[in-house]
Structure 1
Amino acid sequence: MALTSPRRSALSDQVITELRNQITSGAWPVGSRIPTEPELVEQLGVARNTVREAVRALAHNGLLAIRQGSGTYVVATSELAGVMARRFADADPRHVAELRSTLESSAARLAAERRTPKDLRLLETLLARREEAWREGDAERFVTADATLHLAVVSASHNDVLVALYADLGHVLRDRLRTDVGPELRPEDHLDHARLVTAIRAGDGEAAGAEAASHALHCLVERA
């Protein structure tokens, strides 16, 4: 990974932009550790203080988390996502589940109307990946696969505002899902998502919405 070296006078702002671009582009995904300060100094060709200032600014905005003795990690893909992660970290689990249910139900209904052949191929691929993770008993991989599938359903709605809002809430929703799933995958907790994908493929908005609405609330009921 090579960053573009800043050339104009506002070095700090340029470095902030460079680092933010690595995050928003997915080059540094959520959960990953960014290069060390000396590595960034070498890659960017700027002073250590400039890099430090940029990293602190992005940490203040909620995109990065500086963990002493461990490194600096990506915790959100946008300032709004960072704000939401902090704001809803201690939210009532039922309220988070109800929000997720509402958003995903609306998105699934729209997806059933607007999905493209490309959307359907992606949904089938992600569904298979989710089921594979479940069969292998890998809880963290399953959480990632499940969250990615749900994001693809929302993306298939082709409503840019809904997609952006859901993406900004992604960290909050994934943390909640990780808690619901727990460290071990239990057979009685398995939720069949094939019906959701089938309903979207069939253009059945009512069925797709009902399936999506039920998924987010199921774990909450099971764990109650």
Structure 2
Amino acid sequence: MQPLFKVNLADTAVTAIKAEILACRWPVGERLPNEAHLSAMLGVSRGTVREAVRVLVSQGFLETRQGSGTYVLTTTDATLPLDRARQASLRDRLEARCALDVEAARLAALRQTPAMIARLRALLDQRGNSDADADKAGFIARDIAFHKAVIAASGNRAMVEIYDFFSASIMQTIEATTGGGLPEPDMAAHIAIVDAIATGDPQIADTAVRAFMAPVLDHLDRMLQP
């Protein structure tokens, strides 16, 4: 039980230090008090403080500079907006993901290269058709890999991270509340997206993705009706 007790103490220390950071007790760029000071302030050992600081460094709140100390990087909790987004309706989250799909395809069209298009077509070949695949989990994984590759083709790293969040959140909600899924657009609809990106015209790519997503949104609306 002793290791569990230490973990709980570290969690408490993380929460306490984070609360002080979010309250701007130490502004961005300021060095934190040393371990002895934090240990006395929190009523925990210096080892526990050290562990809590490591956690907050990994979360992006703090930065440790060799031979200098630990400094505040941000006083904003980046997880709060995502927590609020998770509480939004399923329709709202799916619309947000669609917006990412559309903009990613537009950017991909502007930045498309022969190698990019070849990769997207190869991923579609690997994906196959849902009705011809008995391994449902494997098919879903290959389908997600294709869509993430389209997002990555945008060249926008932030969009990739946000897309991952919305995709996971939406799938979890659908599985928990309906026991089923949304309709899967056919291979032709997927190919149309790649063909549109290959034209290099962002408006054509925009139209292709909107046509792809429209039946999914319509089905969701019917599914959510009382």
Task: Give TM class, smaller chain.
Answer: 0.5 to 0.7
Quick check: 1:136 aligned with 2:130? no
Say whether the 8 Å CA contact 2:100–2:163 is kept in structure 1: no
Counterpart in 2 of 1:57? Answer: 55
Alignment RMSD: 3.7
> How many Å apart are 1:195 and its aligned residue?
0.5
Say whether the 8 Å CA contact 1:151–1:166 is kept in structure 2: yes
Secondary structure in 1 matching 2:86: coil
Counterpart in 2 of 1:124? Answer: 121
Sequence identity (%): 29
Residue of 159, 166, 176 corresponding to 2:170: 176
Larger Rg: 2
The CA distance in 2 between the partners of 1:120 and 1:152, in whole Å, is 10
Count of matched residue positions in the alignment of Structure 1 and Structure 2: 155
Counterpart in 1 of 2:7? Answer: none
Quick check: 1:200 aligned with 2:197? yes
Question: What TM-score do you get using the length of structure 1 for normalisation?
Answer: 0.54
Counterpart in 2 of 1:32? Answer: none
Quick check: 1:213 aligned with 2:210? yes
Say whether the 8 Å CA contact 1:196–1:212 is kept in structure 2: yes
Structural mapping, 1:14-163, within 5 Å: 53=51, 57=55, 61=59, 80=78, 83=80, 85-132=82-129, 135-158=132-155, 160=156, 163=157
The CA distance in 1 between the partners of 2:90 and 2:216, in whole Å, is 10
Residue of 182, 185, 190 corresponding to 1:190: 185
Secondary structure in 1 matching 2:154: coil
Secondary structure in 2 matching 1:190: coil
The CA distance in 2 between the partners of 1:126 and 1:222, in whole Å, is 26
The 1:185–1:91 alpha-carbon spacing in structure 2 relative to 1, beyond 3 Å, is closer
Say whether the 8 Å CA contact 1:109–1:206 is kept in structure 2: yes
Unaligned 5+ runs, structure 1 = 1-11, 13-48, 63-78
The CA distance in 2 between the partners of 1:130 and 1:183, in whole Å, is 23
Say whether the 8 Å CA contact 2:94–2:166 is kept in structure 1: no
Counterpart in 2 of 1:165? Answer: 159
Unaligned 5+ runs, structure 2 = 1-9, 11-46, 61-76
Counterpart in 2 of 1:30? Answer: none
The 1:198–1:179 alpha-carbon spacing in structure 2 relative to 1, beyond 3 Å, is farther
The CA distance in 2 between the partners of 1:127 and 1:178, in whole Å, is 24
The 1:90–1:135 alpha-carbon spacing in structure 2 relative to 1, beyond 3 Å, is farther
Say whether the 8 Å CA contact 1:111–1:153 is kept in structure 2: yes
> How many Å apart are 1:146 and its aligned residue?
2.5
Question: What TM-score do you get using the length of structure 2 for normalisation?
Answer: 0.53
> How many Å apart are 1:189 and its aligned residue?
3.9
> How many Å apart are 1:113 and its aligned residue?
2.1
> How many Å apart are 1:92 and its aligned residue?
1.0
Q: Which amino acid aligns with 1:154?
A: I
> How many Å apart are 1:102 and its aligned residue?
1.7
> How many Å apart are 1:108 and its aligned residue?
0.8
